[in-house]
Amino acid sequence: MSAYVGLDVSLKETAVSVRRGGKRIWRGKCASDPKVLADLIRARAPDAERVVFETGQLSTWFYHALKADGVPPICVDARHAKAALDMAANKTDANDADGLAHIAEVGFYREVRVKGFESMLMRTLVAARDQLLKVIVQMSNQIRGLMKTFGLVVPKSAGGAFEGHVRRLLADNAQLERIVLPMLDAWRGLRMQAAKLDGQLRAASRLDQRCALLMSIPGIGPVTASSFVAAVEEPGNFKSSRAVGAWLGLTTRRYQSGEVDYGGHISRRGDPRLRGLVYEAAVVILTRSTGESTLKQWGVGLRERLGFKRAAVAVARKHAVIMHRMLHTGELFDRTAGAAVS
């Protein structure tokens, strides 16, 4: 008879529960290390059919390490598992592991596709670059605020021009200079490191044919293309191109009960960073793109009827659909093609 294992993973320890024949036969804890867990599962449940754990920071590492060690891992959406886990009278790691083992036994779960390490490396590169850019902006704003207190207003500028303005204004204020210049040096160092990551990202996108394909779309640059390819991985992961818009949280919510039936704002499910990038690309199409295309004409028509924000969301959703379709067919973006893509 097959056994079913539930893992409640935390940073230091993992609670383990093993069920067989509708009953719990063992539970305990061990270190949060896939090798240790694999040895424990082979000892306590050598005939394990499913090993279920929730999505989390360690889920990618656990999934691939356990799979490589011959354990059948299944990663489930934490939001979907929550309803079953909340049925326990007390919220403990051991009870959560019991609930996950029960879910594994009855098969009442939705498995999450766990990305490969190559895709995660690209996502990490994009995230690290974005974080540095945010810190750079925060640092420059902090320098402006400190100097403004003493009547030194830095003109609107960026890059080397910003540094030149700061040094010029501090030339006659030695006391403030000793405070601000270390921050300015840190700001310059952050810009250098961000430039290195930006170079890595651009080099990777040039070497990837899929990224080059997506960058033929107006408004899609190396960051958006790389992020989309890393998130989607294989076009076959989606049943249809239209499903990508919903996966990114760009479709409207719906509430229906009895005679009540209405739609709301977009669901905002999925990757918020990628959703933001696709939305920015849609804004570029509507405001800055110079070349004419059927997609732009469609978006401009929506803007006149529905307003800018709704039109931008619609174009962003269409962007996601088109990009997935292009990855599937391998064809470059056709400016004259119709906006409706299935």
For residue 222, is it within any domain? Answer: no
CA dihedral 293, 295, 300, 304 (to 10 degrees): 140
In a domain? residue 218? no
DSSP 242-255: HHHHHHTT-SEEEE
Mean pLDDT score, 155-184? 93
> Which of 187, 175, 191 is CA-nearest to residue 143?
187
Q: Report the half-sphere exposure of 33 (CA within 13 A, side-chain side).
A: 6
Beta bridge partners of 260: 257
**Helix (H) or strand (E) segment spanning residue 54:** strand 48-54
| 147 and 89 belong to one structural domain | no
pLDDT tens, position by position, 191-246: 999 999 999 999 999 999 999 999 999 889 999 999 999 999 999 999 999 999 99
Q: Is the pTM of this model over 0.85?
A: no
Residue 292 CB-half CA count within 13 A: 2
Q: What is the pLDDT of residues 252-304, one digit of tens each?
A: 887 788 878 777 788 888 889 999 999 999 999 999 887 788 889 999 999 99
For residue 23, what pLDDT band results from cuts at 50, 70 and 90? very high
Is 181 a member of any domain?
Answer: yes
> Does a structural domain hold residue 230?
no
* Contact of 250 with 275, CB cutoff 8 Å: yes
Total number of domains in the chain: 3
* pLDDT mean over 131-140: 96
What's the domain range around 192? 117-207
Q: Are residues 317 and 255 in the same domain?
A: yes
Same domain membership, residue 122 and residue 101: no
11 and 45 housed in the same domain: yes
101 and 130 assigned to the same domain: no
Pair 102, 134 in one domain:
no
Indicate whether 123 and 89 sit together in one domain.
no
Question: End of a domain among 153, 185, 207?
Answer: 207
Q: Are residues 95 and 184 in the same domain?
A: no
Reported as half-sphere exposure (CB side, CA atoms, 13 A), residue 256 has a value of 5
- Is 229 a member of any domain? no
40-49, 76-85, 130-139, 204-213 — which is least confidently predicted?
76-85
Same domain, 67 and 122: no
Whether 40 is in a domain gets the answer yes
Boundary of a domain, candidates 71, 87, 106: 106
- Those residues whose C-beta lies under 8 Å from the C-beta of residue 56, and which sit 6 or more positions away, are 9, 78
Same domain, 251 and 173: no
> CATH number, domain at 55?
3.30.420.40
Give yes or no for residue 177 having a pLDDT over 80: yes
22 and 93 inside one domain: yes
Helix (H) or strand (E) holding 13: strand 13-20
- The DSSP annotation for 64-128 comes to HHHHHTT--EEEE-HHHHHHHHTTSSS--HHHHHHHHHHHHHHT---BPPPPPHHHHHHHHHHHH
Own/partner pairs, 14-22, CB within 8 angstroms, 24+ separation = 15/93, 15/94, 15/96, 15/97, 16/40, 16/41, 16/44, 16/97, 17/94, 17/97, 17/98, 17/100, 17/101, 18/44, 18/45, 18/48, 18/101, 19/98, 19/101, 19/102, 19/104, 19/105, 20/45, 22/105
Contacts of 145 (CB under 8 A, 6+ apart): none
Confirm whether 256 is domain-assigned.
yes
Nearest C-alpha neighbor of 103 from the set 55, 52, 140 = 52
Give a yes or no: residue 214 inside a domain. no
Regarding whether 132 and 91 lie in a shared domain, the answer is no
